[in-house]
Structure 1
Amino acid sequence: MNGIMTALLTPFNEDGTLNEKGLREVVRYNIDEMKVNGLYVGGSTGEAFLMDESTRKEVLRIVKSEAGSDVTLIAQIGSLNIEEAVRLGNEAKELGFDALSAITPYYYKFSFEEIKSYYQRITEETNHPMIVYSIPVLTGTEITIENYGELLALPNVIGVKYSDTNLSKLTKLKELHPDKVFFGGADDMLLQFAVSGADGAIGSTYSLLGKEANGVFNAVQTSSLQEARDLQNRMNKVISILEDVGVYQSIKHVLKQNGIDGGYMKFPFREISAEEKKEAEKIIDILSSGE
């Protein structure tokens, strides 16, 4: 389990209901055109924390139905409601997802022992491979090297989605736990993550930049660092526009320009303006020119 994986977005209809046709198109586009190694389903990019449980389950069913066994599938099933997380985990396991992932419990200032017991319960009650999802900038939860060691020692915990920018910590973790998988979670730093020992990356922008991301990762493995730098620079031009306009909204809009129904955002996310759409469309020129 390694390589480039798209944090899959979720197309919605204008009334906020799930857009199944669009979701299937996005899945196929990532697999067939972006050539990613896997899909990370139900994370922040997928707006999962704005959905009810039944919709989250429906997303898992549709993605598995469309993707089959073409790529690795990871289901992000984290929830502050532990019973919901377990139910989602067992649903994903039954559907045939390769692994689960769960964001660290957020909002409340949970102690590490509480966080550890959260993962322990999920892994015990699902008995399926688990990837810890650490994103301190959103959860406020910093995990020490020693704490990571305790989490990685839990049965079925196979690795970490490391959405942090402390690369020295990542390097140390990989040295201490070479049998575990570590996925980088900052798309604009894919090159640095790959050099620091990450086994792959999971990112929102790979719905548009999957081929470039694969190029960066593979170039690092073959020590073609100038090629990797050039590709990362191209990626970062795109990422800069996405961040200025709105990452998820812009990705959905650009997908629509490519004939893929990216759908609408889930309330309370806003839709971007006509002027912002024009700005987002500059991405198409960047990618087509290869600059």
Structure 2
Amino acid sequence: MRLGRILTAMVTPMNDNLEVDYQEARRLAKYLAEHGSDGIVVAGTTGESPTLSGEEKLELFKVVKEAVGKNVIVFAGIGSNSTAASVALARKAVDTGVDGLMAVVPYYNKPSQEGMYQHFRTIAEATPLPLMLYNVPGRTSANLLPETVLRLSEIPNIVALKEAVGVMDQVSELKRILPEDFEVYSGDDSLTLPMLALGCSGIISVASHVIGDEMKKMTDAWFAGDTKTALQWHLNLMPVFKGIFITANPVPIKYLVNTLGLKAGKVRLPLVDATPEEERFLTELLQKIKEN
């Protein structure tokens, strides 16, 4: 199953009362589809998954898939640190029309490698949908090791991994031992090109909300064999890749999406909005990229 090169981890638009704005979610999804995104991940960390209810997530899955149709793949973020809760949400997500599921390594309870294996296997066996694993030790305090991913790759509908470990040796080991058709995606915008060089498939991106067209030029150049142009794009875009994490994600990217005239709204507590100084930094950051 080929998932594309750039999948955007979409923010969840909120209205002034911090209720999910489903109409703006449709609008944003269509915008992303028109600006470089081959796919969209809904209700991931960037989508403020910890503060979304199950009902809100299911409605988001439905409206985003309806908005983009068959041309853009939609993955539903159903993972949590409860296997039973993840399975229950995964089963309900099937009826929303999404193309696949994404589940993060269980956070806070720090499972063993065997615990992670059993967690993901149980989720995968609960539905026929393709499942993408998500490894982000900086948020979960647990690292899904390559040997465990290899075991999981033997389960037919576990098809991909979003890898945000940030260690190229681990990525190299993944690519060394995994089947060629098992797709590995960067979970960090700044590591997109380095991970492409290691044979990975693309990026689950935050930055693509605002520089999706430019990122598409970078990945297109790489896959066309024009490594010099791809590198130049990487270097040009690096300030945005790093700058959008000046404070907790998705605070900066929501602010920038708002500046584009798309109504992403604000963030729910315990996150708080960007400070005036952070807003000035982010505005100047994006202006410099767009002027070059």
Both proteins in one fold, TM over 0.5: yes
Are the structure 2 counterparts of residues 247 and 231 from structure 1 closer, same or farther at C-alpha, using a change threshold of 3 Å?
Answer: farther
Measure how far apart 1:168 and its partner are: 2.8
Measure how far apart 1:262 and its partner are: 1.3
Q: CA RMSD in A?
A: 1.7
Deviates more, 1:92-101 or 1:125-134: 92-101
Are the structure 2 counterparts of residues 175 and 240 from structure 1 closer, same or farther at C-alpha, using a change threshold of 3 Å?
Answer: closer
Alignment of 1:233-272 (within 5 A): 233-272=235-274
In 2, Cα distance between equivalents of 1:111 and 1:133? 16
Deviations 1:174-202 (A, max 9, x none): 23221211111110111101111111110
Q: Does 2:142 align with 1:141?
A: yes
Instruction: Specify the alignment match of 2:66 in structure 1.
Output: 65
Measure how far apart 1:102 and its partner are: 0.3
Deviates more, 1:15-24 or 1:48-57: 15-24
Are the structure 2 counterparts of residues 10 and 236 from structure 1 closer, same or farther at C-alpha, using a change threshold of 3 Å?
Answer: same
Measure how far apart 1:76 and its partner are: 1.4
Measure how far apart 1:222 and its partner are: 2.4
Gaps of 5+ in 2: none
Instruction: Specify the alignment match of 1:180 in structure 2.
Output: 182
Instruction: Specify the alignment match of 1:191 in structure 2.
Output: 193
Instruction: Specify the alignment match of 1:82 in structure 2.
Output: 83
Measure how far apart 1:276 and its partner are: 2.5
Q: Quick check: 2:136–2:163 contact (8 Å CA) kept in 1? A: yes
Are the structure 2 counterparts of residues 115 and 174 from structure 1 closer, same or farther at C-alpha, using a change threshold of 3 Å?
Answer: same
Instruction: Specify the alignment match of 1:210 in structure 2.
Output: 212
Alignment of 1:32-111 (within 5 A): 32=34, 34-111=35-112
In 1, Cα distance between equivalents of 2:250 and 2:145? 30
Instruction: Specify the alignment match of 1:232 in structure 2.
Output: 234
In 1, Cα distance between equivalents of 2:275 and 2:113? 42
Q: Which amino acid aligns with 2:140?
A: T
SS at match of 1:116: helix
Measure how far apart 1:148 and its partner are: 1.6
1:11 counterpart (10, 13, 34): 13
Which aligned runs of 4 or more in structure 1 are off by greater than 4 angstroms?
A: none
In 1, Cα distance between equivalents of 2:191 and 2:84? 35
Q: Quick check: 1:245–1:279 contact (8 Å CA) kept in 2? A: no
Q: Quick check: 1:123–1:130 contact (8 Å CA) kept in 2? A: yes
Deviates more, 1:106-115 or 1:81-90: 81-90
Measure how far apart 1:48 and its partner are: 0.7
Deviates more, 1:62-71 or 1:272-281: 272-281
Are the structure 2 counterparts of residues 123 and 246 from structure 1 closer, same or farther at C-alpha, using a change threshold of 3 Å?
Answer: closer
Measure how far apart 1:247 and its partner are: 4.3
Measure how far apart 1:265 and its partner are: 0.5
Instruction: Specify the alignment match of 1:281 in structure 2.
Output: 283
In 1, Cα distance between equivalents of 2:137 and 2:173? 18
Are the structure 2 counterparts of residues 259 and 198 from structure 1 closer, same or farther at C-alpha, using a change threshold of 3 Å?
Answer: same
* Sequence identity (%): 24
TM-score (norm 1): 0.93
Measure how far apart 1:246 and its partner are: 4.9
Are the structure 2 counterparts of residues 212 and 6 from structure 1 closer, same or farther at C-alpha, using a change threshold of 3 Å?
Answer: same
In 1, Cα distance between equivalents of 2:128 and 2:242? 40
Residue-pair matches, total: 289
Are the structure 2 counterparts of residues 241 and 109 from structure 1 closer, same or farther at C-alpha, using a change threshold of 3 Å?
Answer: closer
SS at match of 1:161: strand
In 1, Cα distance between equivalents of 2:168 and 2:218? 17
SS at match of 1:265: coil
Measure how far apart 1:35 and its partner are: 2.1
In 2, Cα distance between equivalents of 1:21 and 1:8? 14
Deviations 1:77-130 (A, max 9, x none): 102233331232123222221211100111012112211111111111112211
Q: Quick check: 2:186–2:202 contact (8 Å CA) kept in 1? A: yes
Are the structure 2 counterparts of residues 237 and 134 from structure 1 closer, same or farther at C-alpha, using a change threshold of 3 Å?
Answer: same
SS at match of 2:159: strand
Instruction: Specify the alignment match of 2:154 in structure 1.
Output: 153
TM-score (norm 2): 0.93
